[in-house]
Amino acid sequence: MADNEENLNAPRFTRELIGHAKAEQSVLDAFNSGRLAHAWLISGPKGIGKATLAWKIAKFLLTQPTDEGPGLFGEALESTPPATLDVDAENDDVQRIERGGHGGLMLVERTLNQKTSKMRKDIVVDDIRKLISFYSQTSAEGGWRVAIVDAADEMNSNAANALLKVLEEPPEKSILILLAHAPGRLLPTITSRCRSLKLKSLADSDVRTIIAARYPGLGEEEASTLAKLADGAPGRAVELAANDGVGLYRQMGGLIRDLPRLNVPALHALAVQLGAAKADSQYRLFLQIYDAWLERLIRQASTGLAEEDTMQGESEQIARISALSRVDRWLELWEKMNRLVTRADSVNLDRKQVIVSLFTSLAAVSRGQ
């Protein structure tokens, strides 16, 4: 594993989990009571800390002492129940977990298709078979065995049915942690066999704290903008920071400022920028930023928006633009743009044309067309 900034920001390396103390306590209480469920389903919006919690649980369990046996005079040793899931970052087991070299841990995620050399869109049955093999063997470390499926709602039907075998016959002293951005996609027979932890989006203040720790050089205004753009998901805030999300938001703001008029040269410059071969991350982030802005516009047109629900300085802009057309027309635009983005991915449409279409369609609705 390359020792670069992207990996060091990955959940397996994150030492502090902010904003999910209640979920942590639920796991700790279950462990201390001796009733730790063999399968947990951690759900919630993407980027809010589900994987960070899963890795924290794994580190906690895999650093717990094994059977201590009798004391010096034959009496059973008593240990104080742990008061937190926190572990020593310098612990040898923790170091091996972070390096990917601990025999008691397995991560299941989408893998590379060897035939196409591209990342699969689903977790496939072969990935789950490896998990079954992992649980069928004696623990290499003599303690807990932990597997994390990230994300379970990315399993195809064959993989999901194979996973049921593990859930129906759970091995002793093992735990399966399923992460799901959209738990409704999972089979009911899977969710019913798991204890559920539903994580909520974080407060903007918590997201700012995480951003400030990761990027101490950021100014207060930029950190606040990132927190708002992230919508309670610190993982998304980190992604936005790494890909100039604030700059992308400001570029969008420059284009919509004069609606229904459009600055065509600026629009084409943005389209060329985001349509470049190496701009995949920025392109996808921009689509998310645009989509979130359009959703705020629709809410303004239908029920109105509170000041705290908008980005800094955009409330008057959204109020003005939303009044240029009817709410049903804005809804039609939102549906049309989502269909366009989905089709663009499925048939490899020119991304430059996608960006141009987003704004020309927006301008057309603003003109009542």
Cβ–Cβ < 8 Å for 199, 24: no
Helix (H) or strand (E) holding 269: helix 264-275
Q: Using the 8-state DSSP alphabet, how is residue 50 labeled?
A: H
- Going by pLDDT thresholds of 50, 70 and 90, the confidence category of residue 75 is low
Instruction: Provide the domain count of the chain.
Output: 2
Tokens coding 266: 């600026």
- Which residue is it, tokens 């205004």? 221
Other beta carbons within 10 Å of 137: 10
Instruction: Say if 330 falls within a structural domain.
Output: yes
**Which pTM was predicted?**
0.84
Other beta carbons within 10 Å of 129: 13
End-of-domain residue from the set 170, 198, 226: 198
Question: What pLDDT does 159 receive?
Answer: 96
Tokens coding 197: 């932890």
Residue 131 has pLDDT above 80, yes or no: yes
Gap between the Cα atoms of 57 and 74, Å rounded? 32
Question: What pLDDT does 212 receive?
Answer: 87
Gap between the Cα atoms of 148 and 108, Å rounded? 6
Q: How far apart are the first and last CA of the chain?
A: 53
Residue 9 has pLDDT above 50, yes or no: yes
Which of 54-63, 103-112, 217-226 shows the lowest per-residue confidence on average (mean pLDDT)? Answer: 217-226
Instruction: Say if 219 falls within a structural domain.
Output: no
311, 165: one domain? no
- What's the pLDDT tens digit per position in 342-369? 999 888 889 999 999 999 999 999 998 8
Question: What pLDDT does 26 receive?
Answer: 97
3-class secondary-structure state, position 125: helix
Instruction: Say if 29 falls within a structural domain.
Output: yes
- The residue-averaged pLDDT of 140-150 equals 88
- The residue-averaged pLDDT of 237-261 equals 93
- Which residue is it, tokens 């650093």? 63
End-of-domain residue from the set 133, 165, 198: 198
Mean pLDDT estimate for the chain? 90
Percent of residues in the chain assigned helix, strand, coil, to nearest 5: 55, 10, 35
